[in-house]
A and B are shown apart, each in its own frame.
Chain A
């Protein structure tokens, strides 16, 4: 499956859910937020949200800023 994750094209072969993608990226359990095709997806829906070809995701966290 082809995805765009944080602006980068990614080939993804794992379980096709947001939770599955985060797991494959080694990001499970981290304090972050996810947008799928420009809409925020709540944490409680990560397990049940299926991903499809050409989906675009933003995975963000907090960094230093003023």
Chain B
């Protein structure tokens, strides 16, 4: 697929250069084959995975990393399901030991119903992980103060939510995202809450570095079609951002010449 995006439009994350601004999760797909196919269609270079107990009663089960291979993708383990800083740090240490590097998506959840992050525990865990040598990408509320604190403790990016995880509500507070963009000197990645292609395009139009999603693709009626739609949307939004949109005006501005009309 040919895209209008400039070849040199890339961004740096934890010392590595990426071209695709779409980061995708691997949860909720029908099977590993579908996961692999959908992720290929998104064009993503970074994929998130979760850390869970091995099924010790059936060790022959297939492994996700046989389908989403670390030679092709940057594997980004998450700490989803952790409710304390301690559990999140333990999970990151386990993930690093499993051999996919030191980049981690930090989530410390504060409420099981809305899955909003526990901000103080997230900052605490982030500080400890940075000290331990991790490149930390924290999932956080769309709160400029929390984002600033995470940047100050040394996070490699900040990842404000668009809306609650899996809600599909899109970017609920673009003005907060704009403030976060203005103040941050690390990449700003919108994480969670995207519902459809226009939401992803909007994140890019705001100037976000990247957008991270899972349910919007895996939960669509046709995940493969939505994977392609998100790929196109992120490129469209990014290209529009680079193109520089027109200003918003209250009154009309004619597109056709207003002189030399017939008498």
- A residues adjacent to B (C-beta < 8 A): 5-8, 10, 25-27, 30-35, 38, 40-43, 58-66
Contact = CB atoms under 8 A, between A and B. Distances in A.
Interface in B83-115: 90, 93-100
Given A6-B54, A31-B99, A66 B80 contact: yes
B116 to A, nearest CB: 15
A27 B77 contact: no
A8 B192 CA distance: 34
B54 A59 contact: yes
B131 interface: no
Nearest to B67: A64
A6 B27 CA distance: 22
Given A25-B59, A30-B59, A66-B214, A59 B64 contact: no
Given A33-B98, A38-B90, A43-B97, A63 B50 contact: yes
B90 A66 contact: no
A60 B49 CA distance: 12
B56 A27 contact: yes
Looking at A25, A58, A61, A62, the one whose CB has the most chain B CB atoms below 10 A away is A62
A62 B63 CA distance: 8
Nearest to B31: A64
A15 to B, nearest CB: 17
A4 B152 CA distance: 40
B29 A62 contact: no
Contacts of A7: 53
Contacts of B212: 66
Contacts of A62: 49-52, 63-65, 75, 77, 95, 98, 100
Interface string B58-90: 011001110000000001011010000000001
Nearest to B216: A66
B48 interface: yes
A64 B59 contact: no
A27 B26 CA distance: 23
Contacts of A43: 97, 99
A53 B25 CA distance: 39
Interface in B11-68: 25-29, 35, 48-54, 56, 59-60, 63-65
Nearest to A26: B59
Contact of B59 (A8, A27, A40, A60): A27
What 8 A-B pairs are tightest by C-beta distance, nearest first?
A65-B50, A66-B25, A66-B214, A33-B97, A26-B59, A64-B26, A33-B98, A62-B49
